[in-house]
Amino acid sequence: MGFEELMKDLEERKTKALGMGGPEKLAKRKAEGVLNARERLDYLIDDGSFIESGLLAKAIRPEVRHKSPADGKIAGLGRINNREVAVVSNDFTVLGASSSSINMKKIRHMKKISIQRGIPLILLGESSGARMPDRMGAAGRATMGQDPTEYMRMREAPMVSALLGDCYGSSTWYTCMSDFTVMRKGATMAVASSRVTSIAINQPVDPEELGGWKLHTEITGFVDVAVNTDEEAMKVIKDFLSYLPGNYNEAPPKYPVPLETNDRSEKILEIFPEQKNQVYDVRDIIKCIVDQDSFFELKQRFGKSIVTSFARLDGKSVGIIANNPKFKGGAIDVDAMRKATSFLVLCDSYNIPLVFLADQPGFLVGVTGEKQGAPGRIINWLNALTLCTVPKMLVIMRKDYGQAYLNMGGGQNSDEVILWPMAELGFMDPSVGVNVLYKVTEKDDPIRFKQLQDELARDTSAWDLAGLYEGHMVIDPRQTRATLIRLMEIYRKGMNNGVGKHLMRNWPTSY
């Protein structure tokens, strides 16, 4: 065959592979308002930067080879906001994007590039699970587990997962290994599909109940952000990555500071309640401190009494862990403990300094929390906190009681402790403490109760903690942004140009 014919053959093969599962299946997706695998890449990857790997890969089994363009998973390298990434986009129009020995080699290759070259890996998930009959019998076992590092995470580079349809098998496993997951409402993720599960347990199973967005944003916490469309999912991925470096050996990128930012600090004392029993939404306070439009919340619907968010201060990424009195009065339940811990690991692994904003009455006590293993979660959190080597700044806004004072960066658990004048420190609220310590209630003996309450309220103020040099400075809340920016200027570079020691790089990804 001459060169001309050979090149023509190449172009024909490429065209056929680019056709994915064919016009009918692609039209069906369009009618459902869902992007196809290549359209998702168009939204995600900078124009003209995508170089595909494995376009001409096909199924290993001859009888389905003719209908397996790219073997159902589109892999390649490209740029997002001019930074290199590796990406795999599952093509559900081809054999349900089922996992096979060939397409799993593609994922392995992309993961290897991500780790060795230090670039984020993005997995756009939608898969019917393992391909049959390839996985059946002993021969099927022999196609699995051929890479002992397949399920290993050492957080060399960020890993992002998107759940964009039915996600079973590899899409589920990689999600639970990822640093960040976005889910489109209507997608599902579970160990097995609702159909398989129904057959196995002999009962009907609703797919949303089994693995829908509400389950995963509110109960399991596997999903960080839920969105309405594929396009939104791609945007969220890009936003997430903008806060992170390309790999663990770099500092995060710097962005310009929007001009409107500087007027917002003045609003803090308008938002913050003067009455100490009033709640507020701490996100409104955070937005007064950080660069305008830089607030990016993870796990908004999970463990709501703590807010975990990325933001920028003077254009540079920070990770914020803030008590939110709006939910449960700020009392910290087990979900909030898990959320705080996983966020510490994420920030520390990718060189993002931490800011704690404390206003909490203590851990939420009760039988429910004990059944969920509260003591172990508290210790996991403390363990993670003490292993952090990124700068940690604590701002005590209002009350900061109990053991949770340490979990929120108190004592030597942060580098700088900044107090607002409203801060209250102690083992618990004095009005509760009177009953606990002296068994006196307000109803039974109001005069004695008041005396004891006043005694317990002594030495609980910001001035007292500052007097003991347990708080390094007391500031006007409106100075919080300026103070944090100045301290970060000093702390951020550290001894290693802003790169930490990553003592938690092998921390479990789900627990």
Residues that bind other proteins (CB under 8 A): 277-279, 325-331, 361-362, 364, 366, 368, 429, 431-432
Q: Tokens standing for 477?
A: 């809340």
Residue with tokens 């604590």: 394
Q: How far apart are CA 172 and CA 152, in angstroms?
A: 15
Shortest distance, position 366 Cβ to other proteins, whole Å: 6
- Taking the least distance from each CB to other proteins, the nearer of 220 and 479 is 220
Characterize the bridge pairing of strands 180-184 and 188-189: unpaired
Nearest residue (CB) to other proteins, 171 versus 217: 217
Of 235 and 283, which CB lies nearer to other proteins in the complex structure?
283
DSSP labels, 100-114: -HHHHHHHHHHHHHH
Q: How far is the CB of 448 from other proteins (least distance, A)?
A: 18
Nearer to other proteins, 292 or 431 (CB): 431
333, two tokens: 């339940």
Minimum distance, C-beta of residue 429 to other proteins, in the bound complex (Å): 5
Smallest gap from Cβ 330 to other proteins, in A, equals 8
Element (H, E) at 319: strand 316-323
From CA 98, how far away is CA 170, in angstroms rounded?
9
Residue 218 DSSP one-character state: I
Closest CA to 390 of 338, 320, 465, 296: 320
Comparison of 97 and 396: residue with beta carbon closer to other proteins: 396
CA distance 69 to 61: 13
Q: Is there a contact between 303 and 337 (Cβ–Cβ < 8 Å)?
A: yes
Q: Provide, rounded to whole angstroms, the least separation between the CB of residue 32 and other proteins.
A: 24
Which CB sits closer to other proteins, 325 or 500? Answer: 325
Strand 296-298 and strand 306-313: the pairing is antiparallel
3-state class (DSSP) for residue 431: helix
CA distance readout (Å), 418 to 265, 320, 387, 422: 16, 15, 21, 12
- Residue of 250, 251, 255 lying closest to 238 (CA atoms): 255
d(CA 153, CA 411): 32
Q: Among residues 440, 362, 443, which one has the least CA distance to residue 406?
A: 362
Cα–Cα distance list, 30 to 35, 42, 476 (Å): 7, 15, 55
Compute the least distance from the CB of residue 305 to other proteins, in Å: 9
Helix or strand or coil: residue 53? strand
Which burial class, exposed, middle or buried, applies to 253 when counting CB atoms under 10 A from its CB (0-12, 13-18, 19+)?
A: middle
Residue 319 or residue 362: which is nearer to other proteins going by CB? Answer: 362
What distance in Å separates the CA atoms of residue 34 and residue 124, rounded to the nearest whole number?
13
Q: How far is the CB of 401 from other proteins (least distance, A)?
A: 9
Are β-strands 159-167 and 354-360 bridged in parallel, bridged antiparallel, or unpaired?
Answer: unpaired
Polymer length in residues for the chain: 511
CB nearer other proteins, residue 16 or residue 214: 214
Cis peptide leading into residue 133 (ω within 30°): yes
* 84/442 with CB nearer other proteins: 442
| Least distance (Å) between residue 329 CB and other proteins | 4
349 C-beta neighbours (distance < 10 Å), count:
25
Q: How far apart are CA 464 and CA 427, in angstroms?
A: 14
Residue number with CB closer to other proteins (348 or 429): 429
Rounded Cα gap, residues 208 and 187, in angstroms = 8
Shortest Å distance, C-beta 363 to other proteins: 11
β-pairing, 225-227 with 180-184? parallel
Q: Is the CB of 47 or the CB of 274 nearer to other proteins?
A: 274
* Shortest separation between residue 511's beta carbon and other proteins, angstroms: 23
Give 202 or 277: the residue with its C-beta nearer to other proteins.
Answer: 277
As measured in angstroms, the least distance from the Cβ of 232 to other proteins is: 18
Could you give the C-alpha distances from 287 to 32, 330, 485, in angstroms and in order? 37, 18, 15
Residue 282 Cβ vs other proteins, minimum distance, rounded to whole Å: 14
CB 431 → other proteins: shortest distance, Å? 5
Q: In terms of CB distance, is 57 or 336 closer to other proteins?
A: 336
